[in-house]
Structure 1
């Protein structure tokens, strides 16, 4: 009854909105609105944009040590920040992977979504120019804008077999061309004359940027974002270097006037040049990115934008002093570190925090710090409203609201989840194993290629289910527990999962007469003990503190158990007579014990996933191929007996969860995550979900054979062209695309009951 009655206002809403939506869509098409966003992102520049080229050239540099990367990646990522850069946020907004650093790619497939040519320390002008100026060029890298353009041409030749194909690629791409700061930094820090040597560089730098823009336009570029310089006089490194006893040298916010005046001088010259190019060719969109005004807005109104007033001009990571920026490379593992980078504008005295980068990126993507905003070219996918539609909104809300309250909790219901703690094996491990065993193959390409652009310690081409859950809760990726030491490291949660970890202790397998040396000694018991240590860090003084941490957190306990079964099945232990009756109950009991420990400590929301559809994983399909007949496979090509075993484990798990849920305490929610059902849905209906039929059961990365199962590393002989079309990445683990599907089903339904987001408010 309620279902049918609620459909009336929904129908009325469509009737009322459709005429206006149609008019708006027609207008969009008439004005040449794009039917889609950019398909690739190419970027040029310096350390403000570099996501990994510099560390490829200099692998021993300090930015490859903590605390760089701590906020988002949980480890150093090759970026000069605590987390993401402006270019990363632009990529995310365009629904593209982070652009691959050019020096880490070789093939067209590596650059199918674009490339990042930026190198930290790069200049617009060539190194030879500064040599002629008499500068010490040892700190000036030979990877100037000209060199980066040469790299781009090489990539374009890989992507396009002929000139027209290349132009088609370029015309559908977005270009970010931000450079020039280092052309001024080098003479500034070498004490050159501002009036006679530095200021006269501006026309030369702007001229070099103009030539680069024209080269890109010549290749077919239609949209180029060209950022201006940031307010140099507000950067801690400059404030420390050029400290003045004359108060008149500073503005009301403590920035050096003359340095900011110079940055504005560069930006005015840049804008004039951009206007001139645009006037010559109106078909090309040259977007000026006003980084200067965006940073100034945070500095002038820090509290409004979530920053500390005292931290606006002080680096988060440095070596002390008034601006915490005494030397150029002072941010390292022994530096003075602020408690919360999101409250600071500057990370290391020169570069910005992820929080500041996010603010700038948002302003360039949506306005007001770009005109037109970058996303204005991307036609919205939902029905757009003509102005007259606004008149109907009060009526529509009046009609709809009474019905909206009838349905259950929507997305973002329940109490906030301010932390995420996870346990498990390689399906959840985001970096613990590689800390323990730094020479494992997962730290070599092509692991991590899709999202991170480099190996990240995850057993996939990109993100894991736990990462998508963190994203949905608006939390950073949980740091691997082994990289953290302090409460500050774990303020948003922790990931205790370690690849090859079992539910049962190694002693169990030894008692069976087996050699468990291939398994991790960090079983579920050990991971729970690690958590207790972290909880003590987060609530050191009172039990109430610890209860508050527990009640505001989400716990992901699994997937756990597949390692136990995998080890025993590949040791030829009989499934029906030994594994089912003897091992499954013990695995379930270990999971039950862990849940009870967490509830006893105060946990209110725990997600417990079942195991995946083992019979559909390429590793088992390959191993048992020779011993299987046609009758052993289901219609989708999966091994029936293995999937039946997975279902058996999951049934026992669900029975246990139902039994231990404290029905007298409605504040505790234990959610079963149906990873099995989600995976089967993709395998059975691959085309419906964006996968290929061949990609349903064949690994993306392997050494060939019927299921392409084999070693996945830099020398793998058979890497698929597009991981997003495959369910399995390396034969055992899933692709980012498959993990995204599973995560969405657990977050929003139907593969969790109740769904996570009905219990966690973002």
Structure 2
């Protein structure tokens, strides 16, 4: 990761150039939908009393301040939206309008997980299945926007051109660490992806987990050392999820599911000194202490709080996901290819 950080300025330059190119024309796809947890949340979790990010120092580098994004500025979902050509950030579900549904909605929320019973375990949070259900209700309003007529067939003709991004699973593993069953989680995940397919989704980017066992949150539990058991579970989950993506592509020949390896993009977190320390002062939950002062040089920090990356790392993740030509990062397609097909 040290090598990655040394090349950050190059990545940033590429992102800025690409963004200028795509911003000059229409978006590459008609709409963009985001599902997941706090890594891609854009402000859906602000009602959570214990695990929210709509206060400083979150958003210190974001134009609208602390909106509920768990980082200092943009998430990688935000940046991918820019690379695909959307001139504005995709709005969170809680603030969406009927017109927004035509171009995209962000359904991701803080501690949401894969398991359907998730909301009964942690502070009323919900599951990926709930988010997919919210999306299903939203797309029934598409005919009212006069995109096409009221038949399901034409509705799907529109949606199959859109990009779907899904990033979830971290909290399932974190809070079921001794009872986490990879096959059960991935099977549930796969069923929700198939539900999206049944609604019209054909271009779906599925993001794997990062090595959270080396995050400050986990290092604090292990005298500053990575928790390798957790990283092994992450690796097993990612392998099975990648296989699930392959299965879905074989099952649905008209679809383009792709797996984005965040762990490979991030590379050896456990060997780099930078990731061990959060940029902001954190509390017992691993969140930034309200109104505390974060590190000055946020461009050289990996983690912003105890778990979530800084914007500079989100830029690396987004750029690799969008244009990677190596299957170790994006398999079997990068997001640019999804947008073009």
2: CA distance, partners of 1:166 / 1:74: 33
> Contact between 1:140 and 1:186, CA under 8 Å: does it hold in 2?
no
Alignment of 1:373-388 (within 5 A): 373-379=334-340
Of the candidates 367, 370, 374, which is equivalent to residue 330 of structure 2? 370
Structure scoring higher RCO (CA < 8 A, sep ≥ 6) equals: 2
1: CA distance, partners of 2:268 / 2:62: 24
Write out per-residue CA displacement over residues 478-536 of structure 1, whole angstroms, 9 at most, x where no aligned residue: xxxxxxxxxxxxxxxxxxxxxxxxxxxxxxxxxxxxxxxxxxxxxxxxxxxxxxxxxxx
Of the candidates 326, 346, 360, which is equivalent to residue 317 of structure 2? 360
2: CA distance, partners of 1:60 / 1:104: 21
> Contact between 1:63 and 1:80, CA under 8 Å: does it hold in 2?
yes
Matching residue of 1:243: 223
2: CA distance, partners of 1:148 / 1:76: 23
> Contact between 1:316 and 1:347, CA under 8 Å: does it hold in 2?
yes
> Contact between 2:217 and 2:286, CA under 8 Å: does it hold in 1?
no
TM superposition shift of 1:67: 0.9
Residues 180 and 78 (structure 1 numbering): CA distance in 2 closer, same or farther, change over 3 Å?
same
**Alpha-carbon RMSD:** 2.4
Alignment of 1:6-17 (within 5 A): none
2: CA distance, partners of 1:342 / 1:238: 22
In structure 1, runs of 5+ residues without a counterpart are 1-34, 132-136, 189-193, 245-253, 301-308, 320-325, 381-762
After the TM superposition, which of the residue ranges 162-171 and 174-183 deviates more from structure 2?
Answer: 162-171
TM superposition shift of 1:283: 2.0
> Contact between 2:211 and 2:269, CA under 8 Å: does it hold in 1?
no
1: CA distance, partners of 2:269 / 2:334: 19
2: CA distance, partners of 1:370 / 1:332: 35
Residues 208 and 62 (structure 1 numbering): CA distance in 2 closer, same or farther, change over 3 Å?
closer
Matching residue of 1:269: 240
Matching residue of 1:48: 39
Matching residue of 1:561: none
1: CA distance, partners of 2:95 / 2:339: 30
2: CA distance, partners of 1:117 / 1:162: 25
Matching residue of 1:117: 107
SS of the residue 1:54 aligns to: coil
1: CA distance, partners of 2:116 / 2:340: 39
SS of the residue 1:151 aligns to: helix
2: CA distance, partners of 1:124 / 1:298: 25
Matching residue of 1:327: 284
Q: Is structure 2 residue 230 aligned with structure 1 residue 259?
A: yes
Q: Is structure 2 residue 202 aligned with structure 1 residue 222?
A: yes
Number of aligned positions between the proteins: 305
Residues 298 and 364 (structure 1 numbering): CA distance in 2 closer, same or farther, change over 3 Å?
farther
Matching residue of 2:72: 82
2: CA distance, partners of 1:331 / 1:85: 16
2: CA distance, partners of 1:315 / 1:224: 31
TM-score (norm 1): 0.38
Matching residue of 1:143: 126
Matching residue of 2:256: 285
TM superposition shift of 1:89: 0.7
Of the candidates 177, 187, 209, which is equivalent to residue 166 of structure 2? 177
TM superposition shift of 1:141: 3.1
> Contact between 1:63 and 1:332, CA under 8 Å: does it hold in 2?
no
Matching residue of 2:13: none
TM superposition shift of 1:219: 1.8
TM-score (norm 2): 0.82
SS of the residue 1:63 aligns to: coil
Matching residue of 2:55: 65
In structure 2, runs of 5+ residues without a counterpart are 1-25, 144-149
> Contact between 2:163 and 2:338, CA under 8 Å: does it hold in 1?
no
